[in-house]
């Protein structure tokens, strides 16, 4: 198992290395890398225009290097030419996409959702244009893609329906702006956190434990989602308090409201409110509602502070917070000594007697 595990790790490391190499080729990050790629492409194109590659073409465009498939013929030279054209156009498309994405992100007049929508549309349009230009340069007959297009449609309808659904759901979220970057959301399964990114397939949510959860976009459309910051950033905090039946209810009501109003994060509009809810088995129950101006800053800290303040105020005022108590009364028809004398049983025999031994 150890050798197999090490082999798997080596393969994964090689795969990541190759992925990094291909990414650096198609999307160079440094300015020198981009200029070097442009110079290389221009040099190869100039050599092709001046027939510098004709000797090589004559060598690899002959019968030993030509493959026939039905009515189609493919030579090694044609394959290399096609790969070069695909690489050039998509490399240039990546440069255009990177520049356009950087420019769109610097537009301060647009909101995060509008920026994400424009970037997504710009990427799709650029790559689609590059694909059509590749087909045109290679002289591909577009009518040959009619059957392929039908097969792709069937594949999308069956095998890729989830991916398509998530992609369309992501576009809907960007269009209607119901969930934007920076919003505090809570899903129906209890997942809560801040929206950090909306992609083509998933929405990234950062939880309060600093975990990144990738939620499919479809879940935001088909399930119930609570957006705590959709219309405003205010949020309500509820606290249940019980007092004893001997307490001064008016005084308890006043102290509860004061504890909330004195907190620095408590909103003035609407202000805190306290209601008497019911008369319970062992306590008279109140509920406190108070709002905070910025729900993104958290709710647990102000709730904890208000509970501490209520505890201190109740203690100073002599108001008791009850807890359930039970008194057990054991009734016997005879005193214990008389019952033992009547049954002629000793305490030792009682301790050794197990219910059900007489059966």
- pLDDT for 16 beyond 70: no
Could you tell me the pTM of the whole model? 0.52
Taking domain 235-317, whether its CATH number is 3.30.70.100 is answered by: yes
For the chain, where do the domains classified as CATH 2.30.30.60 start and end?
A: 163-227
Helices and strands (H, E) in the chain, number of each type: 12, 10
Q: How many CA atoms lie within 13 A of 71 on its CB side?
A: 1
For the chain, where do the domains classified as CATH 3.30.70.100 start and end?
A: 235-317
User: What is the per-residue pLDDT for 136?
Assistant: 77
User: What is the per-residue pLDDT for 280?
Assistant: 87
Q: How many CA atoms lie within 13 A of 103 on its CB side?
A: 9
Phi–psi pair at 54, nearest 5 degrees: -60, -40
- pLDDT for 27 beyond 70: no
Mean pLDDT of the chain: 77
User: What is the per-residue pLDDT for 65?
Assistant: 66
Among 101-115, 204-218, 298-312, name the one with the lowest average pLDDT: 101-115
Q: Specify the CATH architecture of the domain 163-227.
A: Roll (2.30)
Q: Of 133, 103, 135, which Cα lies nearest the Cα of 118?
A: 103
User: What is the per-residue pLDDT for 14?
Assistant: 59
């Amino acid at each position: 198992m150890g050798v197999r595990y090490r082999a798997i790790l080596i393969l994964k490391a090689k795969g990541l290395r190759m992925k990094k190499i291909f990414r650096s080729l198609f999307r160079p990050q440094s300015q020198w890398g981009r200029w070097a790629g442009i110079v290389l492409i221009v040099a190869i194109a100039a050599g092709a225009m001046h027939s510098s590659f004709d000797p090589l073409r004559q060598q690899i465009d002959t019968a030993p290097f030509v493959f026939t498939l039905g009515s189609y013929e493919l030579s090694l030279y044609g394959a290399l030419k096609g790969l070069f054209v695909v690489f050039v156009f998509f490399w240039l498309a990546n440069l255009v996409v990177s520049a356009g994405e950087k420019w769109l992100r610097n537009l301060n007049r647009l909101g995060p959702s509008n920026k994400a929508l424009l970037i997504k549309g710009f990427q799709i349009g650029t790559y689609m244009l590059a694909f059509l230009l590749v087909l045109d340069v290679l002289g591909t007959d577009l009518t040959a893609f009619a059957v392929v297009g039908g097969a792709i449609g069937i594949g999308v309808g069956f095998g890729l329906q989830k991916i398509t659904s998530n992609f369309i759901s992501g576009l809907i979220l960007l269009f209607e702006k119901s969930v934007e970057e920076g919003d505090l959301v809570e899903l129906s399964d209890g997942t809560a956190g801040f929206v950090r990114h909306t992609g083509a397939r998933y929405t990234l949510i950062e939880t309060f434990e600093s975990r990144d959860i990738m939620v499919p976009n479809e879940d935001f459309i088909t399930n119930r989602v609570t957006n705590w910051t959709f219309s405003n950033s205010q949020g309500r905090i509820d606290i249940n308090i019980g007092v004893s039946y001997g307490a001064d209810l008016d005084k308890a009501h006043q102290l509860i409201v004061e504890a909330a109003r004195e907190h620095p994060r408590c909103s003035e509009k609407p202000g805190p409110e306290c209601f008497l809810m019911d008369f319970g088995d062992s306590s008279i129950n109140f509920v406190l509602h108070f709002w905070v101006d910025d729900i993104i800053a958290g709710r647990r800290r102000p709730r904890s502070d208000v509970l501490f303040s209520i505890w201190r105020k109740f203690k100073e005022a002599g108001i008791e917070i009850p807890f359930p108590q039970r008194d057990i009364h054991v009734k016997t028809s005879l005193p214990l000594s008389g019952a033992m004398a009547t049954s002629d049983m000793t305490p030792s025999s009682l301790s050794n007697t197990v219910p059900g031994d007489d059966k």
